[in-house]
Amino acid sequence: MDIIRETDILRNRVEILRKEGKRIGFVPTMGYFHEGHLNLMRMSVSDCDVTIVSNYINPTQFDRQDDLETYPADIERDRAMAEALGVDIMFYPENLYQPDHKTWVSTEKLTDVLCGRSRPGHFRGVATIVCKLFNIVNPHVTYFGQKDAQQAAVIGQMIRDLNYNIQLVLSPIIREPDGLALSSRNVRLTPEHRKKAPVLYEKLQIIDKKILPDLSNKDDLIQEAKKSIEAIPGIRVDYIDIRSWPDLGKPDHETRHLLIAGAIFMGKVRLIDNIIKEL
């Protein structure tokens, strides 16, 4: 596996690969790989001739400085894990923003709810860096995880709106045996918080099982989930919500797929999870 740090070098390599007729798969990440990342890489290696993984902690998508400063990183660990799976290229840039950077990508409405409501500017940073990476890598296929469902919805909208000729593939959430969704932030949980962390998924599952086809009990289920989680010491609910999928609008009688989603704080660590339900 090659590690490329310079944008122009990667662009030149991709141009050659495309001229050779290679199908290029791309997995954008912020590093510190877990099984969720590895599953995306396996999918790309299986589907494509060449797999490129980016490893870049994007500063513009963090709404809290402490979260950025404590985000885990271990490039040698990541390199070994990606190489073992057959990844061809790791793009590991030092910085992708010029000092006078002034251009941003914003997706309207999709970012007004869920994580976008409580993390101002987050999805502007996400969409901008993914747009930049798409322009550099120029892949045929890109792979995202369902755990960040709102992010996937935003990127899917951006692909359509900006006429990218890129297929987006969504991977199911990879979980620990107790149900906790895998996340690079999980390593920052205290032992006490780690024991309690699966509660978010447990409450989302209850909503999934109990919600009526006409959605008439939607609000009651949301309030019950919030109340039961907030009764646990050391946990603060950011949101529990039910939206239509993938447009993230308010669900109604015409909705065919729901996104049952939540976010909680355990100390300073923020965890998210979701279930996509077909009606």
- Read off the pLDDT of each residue in 160-171 and give the average, rounded to a whole number: 98
Residues in the chain: 279
| Beta strands in 56-91, from DSSP E residues, in sequence order | 89-91
pLDDT in tens, 92-121: 999 999 999 999 999 999 999 999 999 999
Structure tokens at 17: 């690969």
Model confidence at 178, in pLDDT bands (50, 70, 90)?
very high
- Read off the pLDDT of each residue in 255-274 and give the average, rounded to a whole number: 97
Instruction: List all residues 6 or more positions away from 166 whose beta carbon is below 8 Å from its beta carbon.
Output: 134, 139, 140, 141, 142, 159
β-strand partners of 152: none
Q: What's the CA gap between 137 and 47, in Å, rounded?
A: 17
Considering the four listed CATH numbers 3.30.1300.10, 3.60.21.70, 3.30.420.480, 3.40.50.300, the one that applies to the domain covering 184-273 is 3.30.1300.10
**CATH fold label, 2-171:** Rossmann fold (3.40.50)
What is the per-residue pLDDT for 202? 98
Share of the chain above pLDDT 70, in %: 100
| pLDDT, averaged across the chain | 97
Name the residue ranges covered by the structural domains of the chain: 2-171, 184-273
Q: Which residues are part of the catalytic machinery?
A: 37
Residue showing tokens 């122009």: 8
* Amino acid present at 239: Y
